[in-house]
Amino acid sequence: MKLSAPVYHLKRRAIKEKIPLHEALGRIALKEGFGSWGLLIAKAPAATATTRLYARMEPGDMVLVGARPGHGKTLLSLELAAEAMRSGKRSVFFTLEYTQRDIADRFRDIGIDATRFAGLFEFDNSDVMAADYVMERLAFALPGTLVVIDYLQLLDQKRENPELMVQVRALKSFARDRGLIMVFISQIDRSYDPSRKSCPDLNDVRLPNPLDLGLFNKTCFLNDGEIQFQATG
């Protein structure tokens, strides 16, 4: 049975309901034609949007995931991390926005039991968010490791950090040399108008300082359940 929206978006819709999450999930499952949320998950098409996205990613990729607040960019990135772990690869999540408990809650929100991936998921919310720190922490990462940077603009937050362009170029070379997949969550400029185009694009990425967005060879933009994915290299 075809769902009206990707699973991650249905979960995000449930989270916004002002009722207990299990009740909201149950209501959405009924609307989608399933007796319960568990049944929806069990019988949803195996090739979800996230599965298809991950299948198109390769070691060395620089992936930009952009959306306005509340449109699922963090959940999508965590689902990509879960896809990597299902395939036996490690995932590392760098963030200044969330605690480890927050991330555990987000995994539960999208129906993922993180305990299944013991030893494959690493969380880092150190207040040092810079390319040099990330590369140091990933010094022994194996090829195929999926790395999430939450979020791109935080690399540019401290004046003592190198310019954003310098940091992203360094991470691109590092990802290519080590065979890592790097996913950068990105903010979208407030000027983006969804009435003019269904999804934001590279022109809508918020950049306080210059950055060549051509450094990213894959992009994924989200809005109201729609996903637009593009591979440029």
- Domains of the chain in start order, with CATH, are 7-43 (no CATH), 49-231 (3.40.50.300)
pLDDT category at 233 given cuts 50, 70, 90 is low
Region of poorest pLDDT, from 43-52, 87-96, 101-110:
43-52
Selection from 13, 33, 226, 113 nearest residue 25 by Cα: 13
Say yes or no to pLDDT of 38 above 90: no
Say yes or no to pLDDT of 47 above 60: no
Is pLDDT larger for residue 201 or for residue 34?
A: 201
The pLDDT assigned to 1 comes to 58
Residue 187 burial (CB count, 10 A): 19
Q: Which sign, positive or negative, has the C-alpha torsion 35, 41, 47, 50?
A: positive
> How far apart (Å, rounded) are the C-alpha atoms in residues 232 and 216?
8
Where is 94: in which H helix or E strand?
A: strand 91-95
Question: Taking the model in full, what pTM does it have?
Answer: 0.82
Selection from 12, 154, 11 nearest residue 70 by Cα: 12
For residues 132-144, average pLDDT: 96
The pLDDT assigned to 51 comes to 83
For residues 179-199, average pLDDT: 95
> How far apart (Å, rounded) are the C-alpha atoms in residues 14 and 20?
9
Residue whose token pair is 């990613």: 57
Is pLDDT larger for residue 86 or for residue 182?
A: 182
> How far apart (Å, rounded) are the C-alpha atoms in residues 201 and 224?
14
pLDDT category at 11 given cuts 50, 70, 90 is confident
For residues 80-90, average pLDDT: 93
The pLDDT assigned to 32 comes to 85
For residues 191-215, average pLDDT: 94
> How far apart (Å, rounded) are the C-alpha atoms in residues 99 and 90?
19
Which three-class secondary structure state does DSSP give residue 89?
coil
* Parallel/antiparallel/unpaired status of strands 91-95 and 146-150: parallel
pLDDT category at 106 given cuts 50, 70, 90 is confident
As a whole number, the mean pLDDT across the chain is 89
